[in-house]
Homo-oligomer: A and B are copies of this chain.
């Protein structure tokens, strides 16, 4: 009976006006205290802080955002978030954003292949972000993002050539290092397990692999094409195991290398005795595969910092997308999966 029940509705915490009333000052003075800026007499400030404390006040971010047209948040767009590359980059981006007092909003573009992309892009514009970091957008259509020209954007690992500033690792150089490492060990040539053809980094790694072989006058065997997953690595491993000429394999990422090594093992091949394997990425579990995986390590924390730095730098610019690209270095990490070929 008591109509008191469903008084629910919005909760609406205390506002700046409530604090002002309690502290006996104007709202503006409260604002000054909460933004920290202006000159406020110490005793007034104390009164205000006390009132804030008592009411449990914290400023309303929506109102603030509306006021000055900024949201204090960066959007992170990817197709998936549970893969190593995305997860490591995201963690790094988050830490970098935190240091700048920005938050991170996740934006997903799951099936960017076709019609699904359009609503995703539309939704994107509605998001409350001051800038967007686009991660690994393989499969995206040619002209994927109809973003406002003033929206700060930085791209990692995508094929959006030239449209937006990029933070990349030198994929080609990394692939080259991997191949040269194996050649230096004495292998005649290096077989290759590639990433999906619609991925820009995969494409670049393939170019690097081929160039390294060509430069030394070695044969370039036909690569096998995977899709980044260990499953595809396993399939490739089975195929390679059937070819007795294979003594060294470069995998376009570590996860495929895991699958590949298991397949080689299952086929009775010894790593690195019969076949050497090198991966790419430097995922943490790579130290603990059997055997531990030689790989090209990407500096994900550095990538994250660069991404954030570049997107923040664009904020407020008239032509934000003119920021120069940034390249983050790579490192060869030699572990036990690579060795000289058995004579």
Residues of chain A having any CB pair with chain B under 8 Å: 7-13, 56, 58-63, 65-66, 68-71, 73, 80-82, 86-88, 90-91, 94-95, 98, 103-108, 110, 122, 125-128, 148, 150, 230, 233-234, 255, 258-259, 261-262, 265, 284-285, 287-290, 292, 316-318
Contact = CB atoms under 8 A, between A and B. Distances in A.
Given A62-B71, A82-B88, A94-B106, 6 more contacts: A10-B69, A10-B70, A10-B316, A62-B128, A66-B66, A230-B287
B262 A288 contact: yes
Contacts of A108: 94-95, 98
25 contacts: A11-B148, A11-B150, A13-B148, A56-B148, A58-B122, A59-B126, A62-B65, A62-B66, A65-B128, A71-B128, A73-B105, A82-B87, A86-B87, A94-B106, A95-B108, A98-B108, A103-B107, A105-B105, A106-B106, A128-B128, A233-B288, A258-B289, A261-B290, A285-B285, A289-B289
Contacts of A9: 316
A106 B63 CA distance: 21
Contact of A127 (B61, B94, B255, B258): B61
A204 B57 CA distance: 38
A12 B105 contact: no
Q: Which of A62, A91, A107 has the most CB of B within 10 A?
A: A62
A115 to B, nearest CB: 16
